[in-house]
Structure 1
Amino acid sequence: MLGILAGGNVWTTDMGTVAAAEKTAQESIRLSDSFVRPDYVEVEKLRDTKQIIVITKKDMEEKGYKSISDVLKDQPSVNVGATGWGQVDIRGQGSDQATRNIQVLVDGAPITTMVNHPLPNNYDYVPVEQIEKIEIIPGGGSVIYGSGAAGGIINITTNLRSLQKPRSSVNTEWNSDGYRASVNYGTKVGNKTAVQAGFARLDRDLFFVNTYRKSNYAYGGFRYDADQDHSLTFRYSHLDEDSKFLQNVSRWKIDAYGHNYRPDKNSDYLNGDRKLDTYNLSYNQNFGTKLKYSGDFFYTDGYYTNTKFFDGKMKTKSYGSRMRLDWAYGQNDSLLLGVDLFEQESHLKYKTSARSKLMDFNYDKTTEALYLLNKMKRGRLTYTQGLRREKLIWKFDKDGGTAARPIGGVDSSNRWNTAGELSVGYNYSDWGKVFLRYERGYTSPDGLQICDEVYSDRSRKVYAATDAQEERYNLWEMGLRDKWGASTVSLTLFASETNNELERPYFKGAYGWEYKTYNMYNTKRRGVETSFSQRLGKLRLQEGYTYLHGRRDYTAQGRALMAAHGENEIDFTNSGLKAVPQHKVLLTADYKFDKQWSVNAKYTFFGKYNNFIKESDRHEDGNIVHSYGLLDLGFKFQQNKDLTWYGGVTNVLGKDYYEYDSAGGATATLVPGAERTYFVGMNYKF
């Protein structure tokens, strides 16, 4: 099956069996016209001229993933944790950029972090057992999704989209760090209504002593099909998580104590509690055979902590809709009209100690957008043209500083942006296709960058809306998919340029030190993404490789600032992109002994990367984070059509590595990677 390693591809085609052992090695591979279809019409429109990774429920079940982060780590173009705890980086955005240059959605609702300081977060909001599919659009997608698509889109789909086929199952897994279990029950009520509900529990020990993650997840939903042209789906879920962890620990402490390290004070542990309630409503209606409407309406409300601060809690809320109208105006032509209307809020109150001043930061972001995506087919050629016009309204109300020197401010910023794309795909054979694609997109400032911290006079500091402009990027892509001999292949070459990348430096102004956001950099990124797959009798092999490289230079504004303030006063890079591994390799092998037994192996190689930001900081072994490789082994036993057993060992060789390394040298702070882990699990469907 053609596809990005460990997942699928919307160009994916089913591969026929190659009876190499029983017949002859010359027999050709039979490919059908089927592919893994996305659940959203807007993603479907992109598939002919864009590589899209699709990880199905079956993929996740067979590979024993524990979390969404685990799923993402298995994609060659994705790195998790290299730029910071919980952060996801697609296509080498690098430190300080990764969190702003992706969008993460659950059933169409945005859950992307609005502001990542001072409380970071990850996206493990939904247990993998409750996920039907994860679609990843590497690089681009700004016409459909707007700001933040430079790195890519992660669209997580729960069983909201499959409630018309309710399923019942019991899942349980034990591993050397804890356990997880879930139960799902679904049934039909008459011919038109289906209902489903479920519960999942996770209990895991983390790396250091007295650290853990415990979560409970419950959901319920229904689908009502009035007739073949009208359907209504509703789903509610609740996540309640309790955890305690250590985020960054000094290298010398890990070397001295390992797992047994504990902070001097119990209060230095990070409190990772979080809750999230989500409400999703989806309505679909066909107006004849040529006009189709689909609308997703959502409301989410929750909070996360991830801090040791006294009473630190980031409250989040989002609500709104994404509506699409798909018009088939010709036999092979269609026009998609989309409207996005939604609002996101974040509210943070915390103290650094019981006696310190209460910090109170409030952010509000409203998105109003209209987009068009036209698709035409002419013989072997497919063309797409897209345009998006978006109004973004940022508001903030911040009260910070200290009791002696408070800093406050209420302000707003209205921003209009336009994105566009052009692409062409050519089917040069029954199985072969090439495409060319251009996109012009943008990334808006995040909650921290939208707000400058400056002096209004000699004695008073205030928060004020920044004058910095949106980042604008140009993205060029060339892709291919085909069958070469006994192998299917997927290849993408890309180049992007952001000519006004944002930074929020700390400069000394006329009255003192200030934080201001500037369009500081011109950043270029280049990359290659490849995937190969072979099925040889009972053996299936997959190989994936990604190469990433970037360079950053100053804009005219950046050079003027550096000339005015002095190069030694601030650390900025002219030495490539920080925390971007140049190479990542994934190799997997699956061997099926018979209809019941199979084994699998996976090797993942993470290339080295730099963590220095000036050439003068380069030294022999200090700020280079070294490469490492991980080997995982697993098995699967299909006892009958309803009962499956699985198990395995992750990090078989017991490799010591770090998911995050702040500097690479002796003074670095680290996030250790998982050690060797054993697991065994069961899935029963009824």
Structure 2
Amino acid sequence: MKKRIGILSFLISAAVFAQGTTIELDKSVIKNQNRERDFIVVPKVSKNTFTVTQEEIRERSYKNVEDVLKDAPGVIVNNTAFGPKIDMRGSGDKSLSRVKVMVDGISINPTEEAMASLPINSIPIESVKKIEIIPGGGATLYGSGSVGGVINIVTNSNATKDNFFMDLKYGSFDNRNFGFAGGQNVTDKLYLNYGFNYINTEGYRESEDNQNTTFLGGFDYKINERNKIRFQARTNKDKKDGTTEVSKKILAENRKAPGLNMDIDTDNTSYTFDYELRATDNLSFGATYFEQMQKRKIKAESIDDIEIVVTTGNRAPVELTNLFKDVPSMLDATMKEEKKGVKLKSVYNYNENKGSLTVGYDYLHAVNTRKSRVESKVLVDYFESRDRGYHWRKMGLNATEQGPLINNIDIKLKKDSHSLYAFNKYELTDKLDITAGIRGEKTIYSGYRKNGPNKIPFTGVKTSNIDTDESMKNYAGEVGTLYKYNDTGSVYLRYERGFVTPFAAQLTDKIHDSELNRGKGQSKPPQVNVASVYVANNLKAETTDTLEIGFRDYILNSYVALSLYATDTENEITTINSGVTNPAVRRWKYRNIGKTRRMGIELEAEQEFDRLSFQQSLSLVSAKVINGSEKYGIVKGQKIPMVPNMKLTLGAKYNITDNWSVLSSYTYVGSQEARELDKNDKVVEYKIKGHGVIDAGLNYKIDSYANLKFGIKNLTSTKYNLRETSLEAYPAPERNYYLELNVKF
């Protein structure tokens, strides 16, 4: 309570201090003005949005898009071994399927969840023009996966003037970063753009080294007054020579202690081609074709106890527990995701531009393939117990039984979606706008999962297959209104029905295999703690109902935006994972919760003075189960897992002189509940603590073209974890430093 009172006091004090000053409104409000080279712009929904400008990005010395979003209002960046995930409005562990992230209007979300992440760091930060953050998204315009929100990363691909940016950075952990981006109007019709970024760092923990290299380029060509085209290409290579999480006991003794080896090499490639025809002054047509490909190679070590329970004899059965202690194994996996899509769109402005009707069609074809092999060392010795572990004796396998434990996986899954939508915006008066939209989508799933041939001591070789052949239809709609009650203030009300379709991989669970082939003399199938099998789960699509109200205005010369929302979700998809993070032995179950409810408040404020400026944001989320299932340990009143209860950001900047300035920021992410499976597939609940981090920086403006910056991240050396289970964790860096040189023309 004291913390919240302090937050409100800070906001009120800043607002009162702002009296007698003048603030420019256009620094906080997203404008909807088409530039000469802009392609068809997506219509704005009636709600509060937030924009991080290029000036703010360069001022704060962010090294990538991930760092920008960590400081952004209402956005939670979740860290995984494979990269970042973005959470908005309490999306939790399902954020990949509930928050849509786009680059120049094209989604970059993966179409599978296992070992997946968002490739947001494959975009050179120097080429980012702005980042638009739309809490709550818009199911009509963006389709499945936008109920939590939409983030659109806008690049300099269609700038209207020549530009060049270059950054040279050095920081703690031998972090070296060099990047540049620019654009050139070759003629009055042809604009070329390019970008490059390279990062090399040893990492916070021992035995870690990361490299990230990105190239991009493209052109924008105005054929004539009615026709224009644009092409963009981007390629990225990310190499992580890292280690896995370690036990929390080890972490308490040495936060830099390495885990087991985990190397991940990722290649991202994307191509986008746009065409626009302005048939008349009021009618435009647009077409986009895009391809995206991500290929990952993963090598991960694991050390596990392998327990094999064998039952022999029929009349007087004897149960033998055979334990192989600390068995090392290696996962070698290749994963590939290919996406191809078409977006067709038409915009018609009518009644003297008071009305705007957008009609469109979206098509996406996604293919996910995976080939992996887990192989242990050759098993020779083990411990045997005839009394369920009370007494053990050392045993040895004979020569014919000796060999490694082997697990092979071969997966190919496809997802095709066809969508039609219409969205209308109309100005009833100079002060009152209304919006309405509808969308229909058909999703088709196909493919297979092959598990095997698998080899385990005391069991026969086993291969199992499961095919996927499903389809589903879903519908979305929305209606909203916005009223401008004065020159600076507006209030809005909005209702949306949305949906979230499952990933193809979510249609199956990975659980303990209790039907292994019997070995010689066994009366029952053996039980092996590391043996898993895929089974269908009859998962359904989620449906959501969201009601939102909000306003934005100047109060005591302070810009303020406030939103209140409530979202009910039927058949919400949730994941229950095992307590280990190593993908070689991880298991999971996907389940539809009966009904959940998320209620929240989002507050943003800004104040500017002659030399001093403040920014604040506060997001509060209550996410609970309304109707659950005791069978799966999900009951009424239970909190939705992996949803932080709040996020607070505070920022300040002081211009000491025309050349010197200091900046500081504080970001707090609240606590969250979590669930996982124990070794017996029982649900275990635990809590992850909240944490706050302070950053500070000093900027020196050398001249109109160059800046020098020095800064400290995590000033107070707060100890927290980037990710954790009940057993293991991966620590965040403590206090670290950076030095940066920026050049722009």
Q: If the length of structure 1 is used for normalisation, what is the TM-score?
A: 0.85
Give the residue type in structure 2 aligned to 1:630: V
**Structure 2 counterpart of 1:396, one-letter code:** G
Q: Distance in 1 between matches of 2:607 and 2:704?
A: 26
- 2:335 counterpart residue number: 314
- Distance in 1 (alpha carbons) for counterparts of 2:616 and 2:643: 21
Q: 1:274 aligns with which of 266, 272, 276?
A: 266
Is the 1:37–1:44 Cα contact (8 Å) retained in structure 2? no
Once structures 1 and 2 are overlaid, which stretch shifts more, 340-349 or 480-489? 340-349
Q: Which among 183, 187, 191 is matched to residue 184 of structure 2?
A: 187
Q: Which runs of 5+ in 2 are unaligned?
A: 1-14, 301-329, 377-403, 456-460, 518-531, 579-586, 678-684
Distance 1:34 1:41 in 2: 23
Q: Which residue of 2 aligns with 1:536?
A: 609
1:367-402 alpha-carbon deviations (Å, 9 max, x no partner): 211100000111111100000011111122211153
Inter-partner Cα distance in structure 1 for 2:104 and 2:98: 20
Report the Cα distance in structure 2 between the residues aligned to 1:160 and 1:465, rounded to whole angstroms.
44
Query: 1:61: Cα distance to partner?
Result: 0.8
In structure 1, distance between residues paired with 2:73 and 2:360: 31
Q: Percent identity?
A: 26
Quote the Cα distance in structure 1 between the aligned partners of 2:702 and 2:470.
Answer: 60
Q: Judging changes above 3 Å, is the alpha-carbon distance between structure 1 residues 159 and 247 closer, same or farther for their aligned structure 2 residues?
A: farther
Instruction: Report SS of the residue matched to 1:45.
Output: coil
* Equivalent residue in structure 2 for 1:302, among 294, 298, 307: 294
Distance 1:116 1:220 in 2: 29
Q: Distance in 1 between matches of 2:600 and 2:550?
A: 12
Report the counterpart of residue 51 of structure 2 in structure 1: 54
Q: Distance in 2 between matches of 1:41 and 1:640?
A: 35
Instruction: Tell me which residue corresponds to 1:349.
Output: 371
CA contact (8 A) 2:255 2:731 kept: no
**C-alpha spacing 1:285/1:228, structure 2 compared with 1 (3 Å):** same
Deviation at 1:120, TM superposition (A): 5.6
**Contact 1:575–1:613, Cα closer than 8 Å, also in 2:** no
What is aligned with 2:503? Answer: 446
SS in 1 for 2:667: strand
Deviation of 1:515 (Å): 8.1
Partner of 2:275: 283
Measured against aligned partners, the alpha-carbon deviations of 1:184-222 in whole angstroms (never above 9, x if no partner) come to: 353332332122323211111212112121011112211
Q: Which amino acid aligns with 1:527?
A: G
2:567 corresponds in structure 1 to: 496
Residues 43 and 437 from structure 1, CA distance in 2 versus in 1: closer, same or farther, beyond 3 angstroms? farther
Residues 225 and 517 of structure 1, relative CA distance in 2, 3 Å threshold: same
Write the distance in 2 (CA, Å) between the matches of 1:316 and 1:144: 24
Pick from 42, 45, 49 the counterpart of residue 43 of structure 2: 45
* Whole-angstrom distance in 1 between the partners of 2:511 and 2:21: 71
Aligned residue in 2 for 1:74: 71
**Match status 1:685 vs 2:744:** yes
**Structure 1 stretch 474-483 or stretch 52-61: which is displaced more?**
52-61
Show the counterpart of 1:336: 358
Hey, what's the Cα distance between the residues in 2 that align with 1:88 and 1:639?
36
Matches within 5 A, 1:241-640: 241-259=238-256, 261-263=257-259, 268-305=260-297, 307-308=299-300, 310-331=331-352, 332-353=354-375, 356-379=406-429, 380-401=431-452, 402-403=454-455, 404-451=461-508, 467-503=538-574, 518-555=591-628, 558=629, 562=631, 574-611=637-674, 623-640=686-703
Find the aligned partners of 1:506 and 1:604 in 2 and give their Cα distance: 29
**Relative to structure 1, is the Cα distance of residues 41 and 74 closer, same or farther in structure 2, using a 3 angstrom cutoff?**
farther
| Greater shift in the superposed pair: 492-501 or 69-78 | 69-78
Give secondary structure in 1 for the equivalent of 2:97. coil
Match of 1:656 in 2: 719
Alpha-carbon distance, 1:431 to partner: 0.8
CA distance in 2, matches of 1:457, 1:311: 25
C-alpha contact (below 8 Å) 1:119/1:307 kept by paired residues: no
Instruction: Name the CA distance, whole Å, in 1 between partners of 2:664 and 2:742.
Output: 21
Partner of 1:643: 706
| Residue 34 to residue 206, structure 1, CA distance change in 2 (3 Å) | closer
Cα displacement (A) at 1:118: 4.7
Distance in structure 2 (CA, Å) of the matches to 1:462 and 1:671 = 28
CA–CA distance in structure 2, aligned partners of residues 453 and 27 of structure 1? 60
* AA in 1 matched with 2:258: R
Cα deviation, residue 549, structure 1: 0.7
Count of paired positions: 631
Q: Is residue 163 of structure 2 the alignment partner of residue 167 of structure 1?
A: yes
CA contact under 8 A between 2:122 and 2:235: conserved in structure 1? no
How far residue 272 of structure 1 moved from its aligned partner, in angstroms, is: 1.9
Per the TM alignment, residue 363 of structure 1 is displaced from its structure 2 partner at its CA by: 1.6
Q: Displacement of 1:435 after TM fit?
A: 0.4
CA contact 1:166–1:196 (8 Å) conserved in 2: no
User: Aligned-pair distance for 1:466?
Assistant: 5.1
Query: What's the counterpart of residue 13 of structure 1?
Result: none
Contact 2:126 2:165 survives alignment (8 Å): no
Cα distance change, pair 429–387 in 1 and its aligned pair in 2 (3 A): same
> Do the aligned partners of 1:498 and 1:524 also contact (CA within 8 Å) in 2?
yes
Question: How far apart, in 1, do the equivalents of 2:247 and 2:542 lie?
Answer: 35
Contact 2:417 2:444 in 1 (8 A): yes
Name the SS for the 1:326 alignment partner.
Answer: strand
Aligned equivalents of 2:245 and 2:129: distance in 1?
33
For the structure 1 residues 295 and 56, does the alpha-carbon distance in structure 2 shift closer, same or farther, using more than 3 Å as the test? farther
**Paired amino acid for 1:171:** D
Q: State the secondary structure of the residue aligned to 2:367.
A: strand
Residue aligned with 2:697, SS? strand
Q: Which amino acid aligns with 2:350?
A: Y
The answer to whether the 8 Å contact 2:667/2:694 transfers is: yes
| Residues 627 and 329 of structure 1, relative CA distance in 2, 3 Å threshold | same
Aligned with residue 36 of structure 1, among 23, 26, 30: 30
The whole-number CA distance in structure 1 between the counterparts of 2:162 and 2:591 is 52
Letter in 1 for 2:334: K
Deviations 1:603-631 (A, max 9, x none): 112222333689xxxxxxx9332232211
CA distance, structure 2, for counterparts of residue 32 and residue 72 of structure 1: 21
Contact 1:572 1:613 (C-alpha < 8 Å) held by counterparts = no
Amino acid aligned to 2:739: V
**Cα distance in 2 for residues equivalent to 1:581 and 1:205:** 30
The one-character-per-residue Cα deviations of 1:463-496 (angstroms, maximum 9, x if unpaired) are 6765432111101100100000120100000100
Q: Cα distance 1:462–1:638, how it changes in 2: closer, same or farther (>3 A)? A: closer
Structure 1 unpaired stretches of 5+:
1-17, 508-513, 615-621
Which letter does structure 2 place at the counterpart of 1:477? E
Larger Rg, first or second structure (1 or 2): 2
Amino acid at match of 2:273: L
In the superposition, relative to structure 1, how do residues 405 and 196 fare at CA in structure 2: closer, same or farther (>3 Å)?
A: same
Specify the code of the residue in structure 2 equivalent to 1:672. Answer: P
What is the deviation of 1:103?
1.9
Aligned-partner Cα distance in 1 for 2:551–2:254: 50
- Please state whether the residue corresponding to 1:528 is helix, strand or coil: strand
Q: Following the alignment from structure 2 to structure 1, what is the Cα–Cα distance between the partners of residues 189 and 357?
A: 30
Do the aligned residues in 1 keep the contact of 2:419 with 2:441 (CA within 8 Å)?
yes
In structure 1, C-alpha distance between the alignment counterparts of 2:285 and 2:95, rounded to whole Å: 34
- Does the aligned pair in 1 maintain the 2:695–2:714 contact within 8 Å? yes
